[in-house]
Structure 1
Amino acid sequence: MPSRSIFENQVIEWISSETDDRAVERILWISQANDVVFSIALEDDKAFPVMKTYTEFIAGIEANLCKPIDWINSNIPLLEQFIDHEHLLLRDKAWDAIKDVVSDEPDCFDKKWRGVRVREVQEKTGLHKSTIYRYLRRFWQGGKLKNALLPHYYNCGDYGTDRAPGKAKRGRPRKFEDGPTGINIDEETKQLLRSGIRLFYNNKEKAPLKHAYQKTLEKFFATGFRQDGKALVPILPPPDKLPTFGQYRYWFKKELDLEDSLRSRLGKKQYALKYRPILGSSTHESFGPGSRFQIDATVADVFLVSEYRRDWIIGRPIIYIVIDVFSRYIVGLYIGLEGPSWVGAMMALANTTMDKVRFCAQYGIDIEPEEWICSHLPQKLTADRGELEGHKPSHLIDVLGVDVENASPYRADWKGIVEQQFRLINLRSIRFIPGAIKERQRERGERDYRLDAKLTLREFTQIMIRNVLYHNNHHHMQWYDRNEFMIADDILPIPRELWQWGIINRNGRLKKQPEHIVKLNLMYHGEATVTAAGMQFKGMHYGCDLALREQWFVKARAGKTWRVQVCYDPRSTDEIYLWLDEGHRFEPCTLLEREERYMNKRFEEVEDLLEIEKYQGRHQEINNMLSKIELDAHTKAIVEEAAKKTDEAMNQNQESSNQRIKGTRQHRSNEKMLNREREAFKLSDQPQVPNIPANNVIPMRREDSDDRKAPSYIPPADKLSKIKAYMIEDGEEE
């Protein structure tokens, strides 16, 4: 065999060295002796098979006059499921006509023999001779493939090129001649249609295409306006001078930029959330366990009842989940009634560093340490902008060394792993719990889900812990993309196995901190003022053993006050925590006994109370001032009247100043005696007691002694005359 060879169905390109013209032909058949070759030209619509010698091709290849090339006819589909049924019927009809002809090789390549067989096919099928030859040519030029006989509709018109508008109306004729036929769309009209789509369809109003079509006609095709009352009504040309809605829709679909349209109508964020291409994987964002945690919260679709009275419905709980991106291992959990906020996130993050055996024991669940391993902090934490935005997580970043990344608003897909867990938990357990919300919208007359609530918060937490244990230890993630090293180590895509494999092979990302240090840095921070009355914080006063030992309150009273750093849990005013040794130690400070009205309260409640009292104080100042003005007015009136009377009496008596002062003691005694008489209790002046029946009267025993007779009554005027006489006798009155 020659060093170079050709094969059946191979495409050979011949190049002329003088004119650079090319001729492309396909090898149809090669004799067993490699001497005769039949081929057909591919770029000739009237070509037929021709006979050549094998050595002719080999010599041409060796002399670089021809060469084998790849010839791909993209118009011949290879998968039948994408071919229309009508096209398949036409293909099978053509194949039935020529299959007996092309099966006889190499006789079918002979012109005379082929002519005889074509006439037989004509008589049998009734097809025209040119049609049969066209089928044969398509079959041979198409590589002797049956699908080469599919109809070549792509040859209808100039594919991909718009026809130039002329006088004749383009497009499919209308069924009814009296209907609007539209106009030929030229480049200027197309530009108007594009402008209408951009202005009235690709915008945030999300108007339907029909509305955009109407507004386009009003703006770009109106010839003027007419006055109709106070309204200006656009004047449009006759319907046969306007593009129809079908034409508008055709050019809209033909030139549609789907991405630009979705961005314009929905906004960049909604487009990125719902329609952006999903080409990446969250797993590739993390190197190993602890590289990145995701945290998020949701309101559980179930109603709960109270721990204290089971007939009280307390609403829906909040679920916080912290999950490792690399292994899908759930590392933190919080179930409570604290709405999605920093407090809920604080509890979930604190749970990531907590001993899980002790945590589960609080809810009556006994586990082995390897069933829930994690008690660490991550290198990076992805969260919503709500809980972990602002100054609150500053200690989480600066002190604990966790890099916080906040997702953009309305971009839940940035933390899709933890979002997916909420869906899985709902499918596994929540939807089957009494009180669960089955549908967002209840049918009319359907029973209220809230009335079916049976579980308390503690019982629901037990169920959620069981869900986490199942997920971490048994959930087989068939969709997880294991890398080649995991496959080599035969690691199953189960979160615990992925976590343990990552700890061994890709460690160095997890961070370990004492639980109390983590909690201190997660709590709210503030400054308390050391005063003589205690450490004042948010209007309340606290004390601690350290302050008493070091005489802080004595020093504050003797000198100046100063501030100290504290942290606190906003849910309880009973304790705050004093930072010591630059945050390495803490001292609990308890609320003083005199502040008992603030015990067992939230800080927000105390702040509200103090604000209310401050407001009431400001409001009462006005009332106090008005009452004081009224008091001063009455006092002034009484003083003026008393001064007038006193001045009149002084003018009548004409006593000197010395005389007035000299008799002060005696005047006081006289005044006292008069006051005693006036102030004495006299029950005879009160209403009489009703008569008591005679049989209930107890007679009083009379004293026989004459010395105990009641003194006779002396009128006050006689007393005053006796006092004056006594005063004259003593020389005090002239």
Structure 2
Amino acid sequence: MFSLGVNCIVSPGEGSGLLNKPVRVLGIKDELVLVIELGLMPRKPWWVVISLLIEEINSGAAVINPELVPLHLLRSDDEIGENEKASRDRNWERVRGLVEDHAPLDILTSNFGALVADHAIMEGVDRKQIYRLLYRYWSMGQTRNAFLWNTSACGGPGKKKSRASCIVPGRPLKYRGVVVDDGGAILLESRHITHIRLAYGRFASGKCGKLKKAYDWMLNKFYRSVKPDGSKGNLVRGSYPSINQFEYNGKNFFDELYKLKKSGGAIRYNKDHRALIGSASQGLIGAGHRYEIDSTIADVYLVHRVNRLWLIGRPVLYVVVDTFTRMIVGIHVGLEGPSWNGARHAIYNACTPKKEFCKRYNIEIDETDWPCSHLPVELVADRAELLSEAGETMTRMLGTALKILPPFRPDWKSIIESRFRLINGQLDLKFVPGGVNARKMERGDRDYQLDAIFDIDEFTEMVIAGVLAHNISLRVPHLLNREMIAAEVEPTPIAMWKWSMANNLLNSKIVSPAELKIALLPSQECRISRGGINFQGVQYTCETAIRSEWLERSHNFKTRYVRVFYDPNSIENCWMKSEAGFEPLTIVPQQRAKYGGLRMEEVLDMIKILSQVAPDARYEDANTGALLQDHQEEILQRAQAKRKGQGDPKSHAEFKRDKRSKRAAEAQNERDLHTADLNQIRLVDKPPVAVETHKPDTVKTVSGRSAAFLRLVINTDNEANHE
């Protein structure tokens, strides 16, 4: 049995004679059903005999479908832009008087046309617009959000946008609040796109070290004027793409993977020969007290999921382990990293149920098979991804204490380090196809990269299976305390975890006033420079910085950083956390008159305006870069021509022989050239007098140091004679 209800959807099946497309039921009256087609531009509703519609539904010619609301309608007001919200409310007000507290059956009567015409006159719009809005409202479920914009069908991949209007896309270029026409973007044509593709390819392939050099190369090659003699002149203003257009359009031709570098391998920690001076579980209350997180590059090469002939390198494996029970509580396998994004996924996995996660990788488990979905009291990590503003913000939001270990001390988180060895041993990765053997490849051995067959999903499935086996089978009897031994708990991670949770060994945490203040104030990591603590372009100082000589030490030795807590309403209200609590920061005297008393937004606007570049300066910069590129290429061609004219050396050894003697000869030649003028200095700077002499007509040359000394003596004698 079924029943037709208002707003239900009926779709045509095989051989339907009543319906051509899905319709929505608006109401039922006597033996008729009022329906309207689904869509953004539906036509007028019509009546269908209910008995015929039910007959088609029973025969399979029509089907009652559950409604799948379009994604553009499933949005809250926070996700809707102001312009779209204003358009929705405006259209709603135009039909509100008709549909509010009125069903479609009350409106679609014999005087429907007159009712719409009167309403259109009252709203001051054409009645066709009322018809369109009314039909859309009924078709899209009779909600106010029916008038939202459906931007999902706008544009499309591979479709070129029409520029028939000749309007340059993007924001107009402004300089100090004034729109300027010179030096900004231009309307790109096909030739511009070709130039961008060629120049950006130099940057993507590594021929240019920086994007700006590739941009200068393009300007030099394609956008310099030509003089009557055939030589190149300056750039023609307003004829070349901007560097933003160059970067934006150049990315469309090259995949990001093409530009990424392959990972150089994992960092090998010295964890196998340290002195064991204590236990990692010492001082812990129970399961969930302390988690350790770290990442490693797995010892296996993977292939692409779409094309198995694409080698994508080795994946990055994140593992989160509970120190008290040695239970692996969270994992993440990715291709980024090590990065904050991967660490975030691993922490999320550690704090959420695992059933759905395992199901995505074809592993069916119960929640009791991996019962880890708890927040830790402490999170231990090294100086990597979590040593960031995002990591600290996350820990503050969760109420978890973050402990960053010093560098080169893996033994302080030995539990997580040993998990990687156990996982590799459990999976036996070095013997699977594509696995990396610990020994160095010998000459003639087959490259293990060529044997890679696993994609990232299959490797993740292997890791999950290995983790489940680890949690069940790893035996750690040395971790059992007296209570566990008395309760005959199995010395496995999962058994110890369940026993700890059942006995509620973990106490609740207390939030201190300092933690509350940190949670209320935003913060930012700031660099200490020679002029002060740099925050948002303003320099600060404090008593601790002066007393401890932070500025001098950070400038002359290792750069230091400090976390600054600030009030967004004032640039002067900033603090830092010290041993005495929260210490206020003050603006340095040379900037106090400039920024004192301003809001942070005002200071940021001021700094942004002062950092803007005038169109003339931008043109000069582009022109200088193009001329420099041309000069460099001219020098290169000249040097290549000279080298080619010299011929090739007899051998490489002949070319490299006697470098020291050749260098000494060249150095002597340089000294002779630099002192050529000094060698011609005469002893007296006076016109020569013709004197008869029988000696040869030669000029005695002296060294530069002797000439300077003699000149000083002669000048002294002349002054004495004048006196």
| Pairwise TM-score range, normalised by the shorter structure | 0.3 to 0.5
Which TM-score applies when normalising by structure 2? 0.34
Which TM-score applies when normalising by structure 1? 0.33
